[in-house]
Copies of this chain bind each other. A is one copy, B any other.
Amino acid sequence: MRVEREKRTIIEPKVLKGFRDFLPSMEIPKKAIVNKLEEHFSLYGFVPIDTPVLEYTEVLLGKGGGETDKQIFHFLDNGERDVAMRFDLTVPFARFLALHQNELAFPFKRFHINKVWRGENPQKGRYREFTQCDFDIVGADNAEADYEILAMMESSFQVMGVTDFKFSVAHRGLFNAFLTHLGVEEKSTEILRIVDKLKKIGTDEVSALLKECTGTKEKAEDILSYINVENPDEPFLTTLERLSSLAGGEIEHTARMKAIYGYLSDAGIEDHFTLDPSITRGLDYYTGIVYETFLTELPHFGSVCSGGRYNDLASLYTKEQLPGVGSSIGLDRLLAALEELESPVIQRASSSDLIILCLDESLRSWYDQLARRFRSEGIRTDAYLLNKKMGAQFKYAEANHIPYGLSCGTLEKSAGKVTLKNLKTREMHQMISIEEAISIIKRN
């Protein structure tokens, strides 16, 4: 038999470049975070949706072309249809809204946490398959909706055990008003993209690019003075007044930002929010407030949660105007950040709370009965399945980070007792009742 197997060709069990397996040590914390977020979004009345991984290429790419086009996984299926794997959750959501608008109650508040695919060149921390977490409110163009997204973002970071974070917000409408006031509105898309690079390439290079784009040194300097907050401690409303006057005076956007800030203050969470006019979010479709999220202790991670208001997202697919505001978390990057921050949310990579050791093969049914009892108390209980030496069983428990071991021989069984061992501290509780064991495990 052995000989025959040796001769058989073995296929190398490799995965594609830019793709990866999630072993339990990564998948357990990832699921913990997803569950936390889903539960939290539900508290705000947000509901989950899902869309197909494959869509017509024309439907997904209608919006863009350009760089995305080359990065998309697309092909002809067996029916010669040009199909593509979704590269974000925003475009499918726009298509979803257009298709189902008559089945949904507005304002529609949805979240969508799932994988997307891009063929970009894999590099450190960048994958071709990654998970996004999007949440949006559609059908409410007001400060209340803008505020609700910001407030839910703020509390999401709190429930994930992150306390040192900062939201940088700005208003695209206000910036556009400023550019119009300056007479460079026809260059606005290009200017937005240049400004978006500020944190990456620095003020000098942005200044040079702006000069090239606007044609004059003065306009470049005006734009720089708009986006630069010289005093980082300048109060939100002071910055807002300054920007407002640079944009030619009070306009609806200023009023909207004031109202949003009012709600943040009333909720007592305004300290987490900074007005940073250099935030533009390169993408065309934003029309109102925009924001990015930075972890104070891990600035090199960049923004871990970004978004804004778009007032015509689904316009490719419907003539109905559907105003929305939303945000997106790059879950893999956030997971890496939480790992670095040693967040308590991801410290539970143990497979079980308790392992029932196999001391005596003839007591299997009793071990199973014990396991069922502990499970009925919500204690995750693994009954070791092999008849191996104790050393091997402890090694298994250690590899799975199981904190408690329970052993029970015929003596314990006949006395209705068990012996519980804390596998980390090595503390032993000999000949205790099952109820005592349950309460010890639950205390920890």
In the complex, are the beta carbons of A386 and B140 less than 8 A apart? yes
* Interface assignment of A271: CB less than 8 Å from any CB of chain B: no
* Interface assignment of A103: CB less than 8 Å from any CB of chain B: yes
* Interface assignment of A21: CB less than 8 Å from any CB of chain B: yes
CB neighbours (8 Å) of A78 from chain B are 70, 119
Which segment of A238-246, A260-268, A274-282 sits at the interface? A260-268
* Interface assignment of A38: CB less than 8 Å from any CB of chain B: yes
Question: Would you give the 0/1 interface string for A68-101, flagging 1 where the beta carbon is closer than 8 Å to chain B?
Answer: 0010010111110101010000000001101110
In the complex, are the beta carbons of A105 and B16 less than 8 A apart? no
Number of copies: 2
The chain B residue with its CB closest to the CB of A8 is B315
CB neighbours (8 Å) of A110 from chain B are 24
The chain B residue with its CB closest to the CB of A143 is B364
| Docked complex Cα distance between A133 and B38 (Å) | 20
* Interface assignment of A425: CB less than 8 Å from any CB of chain B: no
CB neighbours (8 Å) of A380 from chain B are 42-45
Which segment of A212-220, A365-373, A403-411 sits at the interface? A365-373
In the complex, are the beta carbons of B20 and A48 less than 8 A apart? no
The chain B residue with its CB closest to the CB of A129 is B52
| Docked complex Cα distance between A114 and B372 (Å) | 28
* Interface assignment of A339: CB less than 8 Å from any CB of chain B: no
| Docked complex Cα distance between A17 and B365 (Å) | 50
In the complex, are the beta carbons of B10 and A59 less than 8 A apart? no
In the complex, are the beta carbons of B22 and A49 less than 8 A apart? yes
Within 8 A of B (CB), among A368-405: 368-369, 372, 375, 378-383, 385-386, 395-396, 399-400
Question: Would you give the 0/1 interface string for A311-348, flagging 1 where the beta carbon is closer than 8 Å to chain B?
Answer: 00001111100000000000000000000000000000
Question: Would you give the 0/1 interface string for A355-368, flagging 1 where the beta carbon is closer than 8 Å to chain B?
Answer: 10000000011001
* Interface assignment of A165: CB less than 8 Å from any CB of chain B: no
Q: Which of A6, A77, A98 has the most CB of B within 10 A?
A: A77
In the complex, are the beta carbons of B318 and A10 less than 8 A apart? yes
Within 8 A of B (CB), among A27-59: 27-28, 30-31, 35, 38, 42-56, 58-59
CB neighbours (8 Å) of A54 from chain B are 16, 19, 73, 117, 129
CB neighbours (8 Å) of A105 from chain B are 395-396, 399-400
CB neighbours (8 Å) of A369 from chain B are 266-267
Within 8 A of B (CB), among A286-328: 315-319
In the complex, are the beta carbons of B44 and A382 less than 8 A apart? yes
CB neighbours (8 Å) of A59 from chain B are 11-14
The chain B residue with its CB closest to the CB of A396 is B105
In the complex, are the beta carbons of B316 and A45 less than 8 A apart? no
* Interface assignment of A142: CB less than 8 Å from any CB of chain B: yes
CB neighbours (8 Å) of A351 from chain B are 42, 45-47, 109
* Interface assignment of A210: CB less than 8 Å from any CB of chain B: no
Partner of A365, one of B24, B28, B262, B365: B262
Closest 4 pairs (CB-CB, A-B): A45-B382, A75-B75, A105-B399, A24-B47
Q: What are 29 A-B contacts defined by CB distance under 8 Å?
A: A10-B317, A11-B317, A14-B56, A14-B59, A15-B51, A15-B52, A16-B52, A19-B54, A21-B49, A21-B51, A22-B49, A23-B103, A23-B104, A27-B47, A28-B47, A28-B48, A42-B351, A45-B381, A46-B351, A53-B53, A78-B119, A105-B399, A139-B386, A142-B385, A142-B386, A145-B385, A147-B368, A148-B385, A267-B365
**Given A42-B352, A70-B78, A73-B77, 20 further pairs, Cβ under 8 A:** A10-B316, A14-B59, A15-B52, A16-B52, A16-B56, A19-B54, A21-B49, A21-B96, A23-B49, A24-B47, A24-B48, A28-B47, A53-B117, A53-B129, A77-B119, A107-B385, A107-B386, A137-B385, A144-B364, A144-B383
